[in-house]
A and B are shown apart, each in its own frame.
Chain A
């Protein structure tokens, strides 16, 4: 009905999205073909079993995917469409135990069943296999259970045996068919030939060669293993995880080989499934540290030169995968691989893909052709739309969705599978090629709300996922295709991304079961960190020693906080602990008011006026920013940047720091684009340093990451900048040093400033200093040798005038109809007249909005809607200005006690009489008693009077000395006498005061 080419579907929660067939889908087709080819073995295997059985049976031994320390057996509400995934969750451990006998039983049974005999024979006959095509999952298997057994071993020694047995079973299971091997090989060839596009090209080639060498080496190493009786290990490519696992098991179970033979090849569907399940868990349990550990083992075995090759981008099976991409990951071998992945969703009514416009139900996410609806819709409606079935269900009726025509099974899309937890989604954190040539990536799991400890919460959206802090190494094989997991902002904009769009706003901590919002900058940092770690680890060489392994393991476990160990806990607030345990902070439940509350205009205005919200554009500072840009660019591009130093001054709140940071962001994006040489940027705030000397430590730490004392840091920095000694290769980059609140660095002999400003003048230092402070004449106040170094290039940020303030405010308020135009102008004029401080102007407007909001809410609660429009008026702004600028002393004077009022009057009277600002208590008391006697008041006594004076002094209405001075206490009014006169002129209880004012 709509576009003919664009098969568009609309869904509207909370925004509209149109569906177009993804370009990815085409490549996917190719991929799936390859996949089917390579899967042949598994398929064969499965076709022998009744095809329908899997689903039900598979689910039976399902266990929750939960982290080890989840003790609560919390049953999350099983949602309608999936239930398989969220059954009652028993204790994890107990479930495991109960399962183990089960698996071995089924193993025996299934041996009798002889289902995949043929495959087994094949395998036996050839005797060599190279891991199945599902390496991604199957390889993980052996590794992960081990860690669990370890846990159990520690507690219940008897369990060890069973565990071992189990481990072997799984082990035996890994190698698969010869076909798989072949297909794998061809694929490997393919990918090696043409697919490695990016990456550090020269190095990468070298490494590839090494990788090949490694394969050779692997064969040499392997026979040792074979001796131990692990036939299945023959010809296995140097799979690090498997290896490490094996080596560990060799240590632990000497007679593993026998066991392995005894229970070889259990291939019953149940057993398979249960394993898959477990794999699932283990996958979850595989943590970063374990991955690195196994990596290290590889290093150990292969002695030297074996390195993983890391890529930024890999073309695999025709799909391009980059670090930071989100992908679907296969969960079960059977279901995901042999279903054809539908490109588009079918209509829920006619079960055809068709070309008509489809609309998405906001409740069940089902797609409907517009024409298939009753009554048919002409066009996609605005706002939320819920299909008739869901509406009926909401009304409490029993609804049956139309059944698909005979012989046609409804094909579920990947999205549906993911939300039913038949699939997984992960984010690629890093990509690498193993020494054996297989491609791996480190994935960070996403989970669906049902899998969290708190289950699906009412405010969860249908397409919501949580990012976990759980990583796993996954082989690229198991990737199905891309999906798009977006932040709420991107999600709001996305409307043509197809069906695989998900929303992710929170991170879920699997250890503490707590939620945390994702910070926007977070992504890059994390990625870098992970990479850094790995590189570091893989570069690190160490000599092998069995004992050390154990230590290392323990250490890892501690690092990972798998169990909150009490003995090794570090303090949270010391740097050594790297803020240990700060990840504990998180909400157990995402509060509803955050998600469900619909913001009013006023609330939106308040949010956008916050100082913390970064505006989209920075108006009114273009000239200054340009100047900074030219300065920085000139400094960076110049090879001999001598004496580059910029002094920026201006009153607070004029956008100094913000402008510099914005410029740095722009330049950084240019660096990323490749047009400018890379540089390093260090930001220091003088007021946040404990002592001026600490700046050396901070700078040195920012440059190198090491923390030393300031004297040492000064020496090292001197070496680097003055003597031109370069410590590492990154050091020749120019360094930009931004020092905020520069005036705080002024010490008595001003050596800190001198040192810092002296470095840029040295040849080859490549240091650029930008100093920010408030006072215009700071350089002049300093020693001449400093001012000559600093005062050359200056930039002044003048206070904003009212037009600029108005522009700043209205640029933030764009699109929000909450302020009267005059109100904004009033606020900006007022602030411009006083300080020109943009922060103040924003705060006044926010306060005004707050006042308006408060009044409105109160009126709603008391009288029903007397205020017509919720708009911030002049009156609100005026109230805000009053509150902010007016000192409250007049009000306090008006309401203070009777004696205080007389006291103040006496002060003013005394002031008029003598013309002196300062008086003593003795004189004042005399005046006071005169006033009292002539107006019929009782004189309260000197001591009481003294107390009254001290009370006023406490509030700083008057300035006074300490009370023990008594008669000789000096007193002075803190505010103009006119204020007192104004406040007390018409006091009701003491009308005679006016005479003396």
Chain B
């Protein structure tokens, strides 16, 4: 009993360690940087040269979501802040929050004030703020300080008149300032969004964040999941844990599992989320990771949402969907509530089913289907039209519907038959 408790405690400790690692981007991306081709060293070179050589740069970090753009950037920034503690101040903006020029400038002014212990006024106007920003750029340039602007979700800044980007980049090319603008975006065409005047002033450094290679992924999984030998965890436990992990990693079934998972989204962020799930399924009594954990995690990831929706539908709603399917089979491209109702009536007339409801009840069922997003309107036109006249479309394939009907417990047999016909 005592031993078991102790073991549970141990495995809990290991679990916590793994979880904290998985939620710490610094740890995840730390082993990647070393080679000269990595984005880490390239980015670090660009920023650190602009700090030491007093030049202005503007960089775009592009790549799909979850590929570690911001994580690598943060890694670089924290390294540089250590290296040049006084010479860097970082201003962080997010396009989702500050896409409005006015509010973005205000936020810049606020952060600049915070950074230099100045008093900030909320009521300052756009002009004041932009002049303050330019003055600060100049002063900081004279004091050998670099201001790094991190613009997350850069595409949102590249909309409208782009006053913020223009005044920032214009100040950078005319005053003797020292600033780096880093745009982070998942849109690959973001530089095309820039207005021509802004684009001309932008210096177009681009760093592309791509998915890791297969070998990298394996190394990466091992790096995260293996326990350290020199921590507070007992040595033999850690050794056994790592041994089992190695065995698991070389297992073909495991590789296949990871492949299936990554086949639909091949990024580090995605993988980390999966690993976190799998680790959380770890059996505390056993204290080791097993293939089962990963399998559960995978299956919980591959849910068929529409099928689950069907499970919650009423029989009348099933009827309606089958009717729609039949209409589709008849190559009727679009249908609305009334055409579905006629089909429903004809089914009832020919088969004399017990489930016949009045039109208003059917309308309720129809609306419910809309809410479940099992059906949706075909176009966005005609908002003022009432629901029953607008053409709709079934959002579920016939195969799925069939499967759904089969797994539905009280499904009338007639429906399955109707589907087949």
B266 touching A895, Cβ below 8 Å? yes
How many pairs of residues, A versus B, come closer than 8 Å at their CB atoms?
264
Q: How far is the CA of A603 from the CA of B53 in the complex (A)?
A: 8
| Residues of the B chain whose Cβ atoms lie less than 8 Å from the Cβ of A839 | 173, 200-201
Provided the pairs A612-B176, A925-B397, A966-B376 are in contact, do residues A606 and B127 lie with their beta carbons within 8 angstroms? no
Residue of A nearest to B394 (CB): A967
Q: Is the CB of B210 within 8 A of A892?
A: yes
Q: Report the nearest A residue to B141, measured CB to CB.
A: A517
Q: Is the CB of B166 within 8 A of A688?
A: yes
Given contacts A593-B52, A690-B125, contact A653 B161 (CB under 8 A): no
A653 partner, pick from B139, B200, B302, B304, beta carbons under 8 A: B200
Query: Contacting A591 at CB < 8 Å: which of B86, B129, B394?
Result: B86
In this complex, what residue of A is CB-closest to B308? A943
| B266: nearest chain-A partner, CB-CB | A897
Total number of A residues with any Cβ neighbor in B under 8 Å: 94
B163 within 8 A of A: yes
- Contact (Cβ within 8 A) B304 A574: no
Tell me the nearest residue of chain A to B101, going by C-beta. Answer: A690
Q: How far is the CB of A689 from chain B (nearest CB, A)?
A: 8
Q: A572-B132, A891-B210, A951-B265 are in contact. Are A968 and B144 (CB under 8 A)?
A: no
CA distance A957 to B188 in the complex (A): 8
Of the listed stretches B41-49, B235-243, B312-320, B341-349, name the one at the interface; the rest are far from the partner chain. Answer: B41-49
Known: A591-B86, A887-B189, A954-B65. A575 touches B210 (CB 8 A): no
Tell me the complex Cα distance, A139–B261, Å: 86
Distance between A611 CB and nearest chain B CB, rounded to angstroms: 4
A599 / chain B contacts, CB cutoff of 8 Å: 53
| A967-B396 Cα distance, complex, nearest whole Å | 8
The answer on a CB contact under 8 Å between B109 and A694 is no
Query: Cβ of A862: which chain B residues have Cβ within 8 Å of it?
Result: 36
Binary interface profile of B, 389-403, with partner A (CB < 8 Å = 1, else 0)? Answer: 000011111001000
* Residue A948 lies at the interface, judged by CB distance under 8 Å to chain B: yes
A889 to B125, CA, bound (A): 40
Interface residues of A in 492-547 (CB under 8 A from B): 514-519
- Within 239-274 of B, Cβ neighbours of A (below 8 Å) are at 259, 262-266
Per-residue CB contact flags for chain A residues 574-594 toward chain B (1 = under 8 Å, else 0) read 110101111111111111011
Contact across chains for B64 and A951 when beta carbons are under 8 A apart:
yes
**Chain A residues near B130 (CB-CB < 8 A):** 688
Given the known A-B contacts A519-B138, A854-B45, A895-B210, are A594 and B170 also in contact in the complex, defined by CB atoms under 8 Å?
no
Assess whether B17 is interfacial by the CB under 8 Å rule: no
Contact (Cβ within 8 A) B87 A611: no
CB contact list, A536-584 vs B, under 8 A? 569-575, 577, 579-584
Q: Mask for B200-221, Cβ within 8 A of A = 1, else 0? A: 1101111010110000000000
Q: Is the CB of B166 within 8 A of A594?
A: no
B136, B304, B373: the one contacting A964 at CB < 8 Å is: B373
B265 contacts which chain A residues (CB < 8 A)? 897, 947-948, 951
> Taking CB as reference atom, which chain A residue is nearest B178?
A612
Shortest CB–CB separation between residue A748 and chain B, in angstroms?
15
The bracket for how many chain B residues form the interface is 35 or more
Q: How far is the CA of A652 from the CA of B304 in the complex (A)?
A: 52
B119 engages A570 (CB within 8 Å):
yes
Q: Encode contact with B along A825-845: 1 for CB under 8 Å, 0 otherwise.
A: 000000000010101100100
**A585 vs B166: C-alpha distance in the bound complex, in angstroms?**
24
Query: Within the complex, what minimum Cβ distance (angstroms) separates B89 from chain A?
Result: 10
Contact partner of A941 (CB less than 8 A), chosen from B87, B259, B302, B394, is B302
Which residues of chain B are within 8 angstroms of A889 by Cβ–Cβ distance? 188-189
Chain B's nearest CB lies how many Å from the CB of A656? 11
B421 CB to nearest A CB, Å: 21
Interface centre among B62, B127, B186, B373 (most CB of A within 10 A): B127
Interface 9-mer from B110-118, B284-292, B352-360, B406-414: B110-118
In the docked arrangement, what's the CA distance between A318 and B419, Å? 114
- Interface residue from A571, A585, A774, A840 paired with B143 (Cβ < 8 Å): A585
Question: In the bound complex, do residue A517 and residue B142 qualify as a contact, i.e. CB atoms below 8 Å apart?
Answer: yes
**Whose C-beta in chain A lies nearest to the C-beta of B187?**
A956
Q: A611 touches which one: B46, B102, B189, B201 (CB < 8 A)? A: B201
Pick from B102, B196, B197, B262 the residue with the most CB of A within 10 Å: B197
Q: Are A967 and B54 in contact, with the CB atoms below 8 A?
A: no
Whether A580 contacts B119 by the Cβ 8 Å rule is yes
Task: Kindly provide the distance from the CB of A894 to the nearest chain B CB, expressed in whole angstroms.
Answer: 8
Q: Which single member of A581, A607, A888, A965 contacts B188 (CB below 8 Å)?
A: A888
> Cβ of A685: which chain B residues have Cβ within 8 Å of it?
170
Q: For the complex formed, measure the closest distance between the CB of A604 and the CB atoms of chain B, giving whole angstroms.
A: 10
Whether B55 sits at the interface, judged by CB under 8 Å, is yes
Q: Write the chain B residue with the least CB distance to A587.
A: B143
For residue B40, give the distance in angstroms from its CB to the closest CB of chain A.
Answer: 13
Question: When the two chains form their complex, are residues B173 and A579 in contact, meaning their CB atoms are under 8 A apart?
Answer: no
Q: Which residue from chain B places its CB closest to the CB of A847 in the assembled complex?
A: B205
List residues of chain A with CB within 8 A of the CB of B19.
none
Q: A315 to chain B: closest CB distance in Å? A: 35
Whether A847 contacts B143 in the complex (CB less than 8 A), given A519-B176, A897-B266, comes out as no
Verify if A955 is at the interface (C-beta below 8 Å from B). yes
Kindly identify which residue among B166, B201, B400 contacts A942, using a CB–CB cutoff of 8 Å: B400
A686 shortest CB reach to chain B, Å: 10
Of all chain B residues, the one with the shortest Cβ separation from A937 is B263
Given contacts A577-B121, A584-B116, A967-B394, are A840 and B42 in contact (CB under 8 A)?
Answer: no
Q: Are B161 and A612 in contact (CB under 8 A)?
A: no
Docked complex: A705-760 residues within 8 A CB-CB of B: 741, 744
Please name all residues of chain A whose beta carbon is closer than 8 Å to the beta carbon of B138 when the two chains form the complex: 519
Cross-chain contact B140 with A569 (CB below 8 angstroms): no
Q: Mark B138-159, 1 if CB is under 8 A from A, else 0.
A: 1111111100000000000000
Does B306 belong to the interface (CB within 8 Å)? Answer: yes
Given A843-B203, A899-B264, A854 and B42 touching (CB < 8 A)? yes
Q: A571-B120, A582-B139, A612-B174 are in contact. Are A744 and B264 (CB under 8 A)?
A: no
In the bound complex, how far is the Cα of B395 from the Cα of A603, in angstroms?
A: 60
Q: Which residues of A contact B278 (CB under 8 A)?
A: none
**A662 contacts chain B at the CB level, 8 A cutoff:** no
Min CB distance A341 to B, Å, is: 35
Pull 8 A–B residue pairs with CB atoms less than 8 Å apart, ordered by A.
Answer: A514-B143, A582-B136, A585-B139, A847-B205, A854-B36, A892-B210, A897-B211, A967-B376
Having A581-B119, A843-B203, one finds 19 other A-B pairs with CB under 8 Å, namely A517-B141, A572-B119, A572-B121, A573-B132, A579-B131, A580-B118, A585-B139, A587-B86, A588-B86, A606-B53, A610-B55, A610-B56, A612-B176, A687-B161, A689-B127, A839-B200, A862-B36, A897-B266, A943-B303
List the 7 closest A-B pairs by CB distance, nearest first. A571-B121, A652-B200, A572-B118, A897-B266, A690-B126, A611-B173, A573-B132
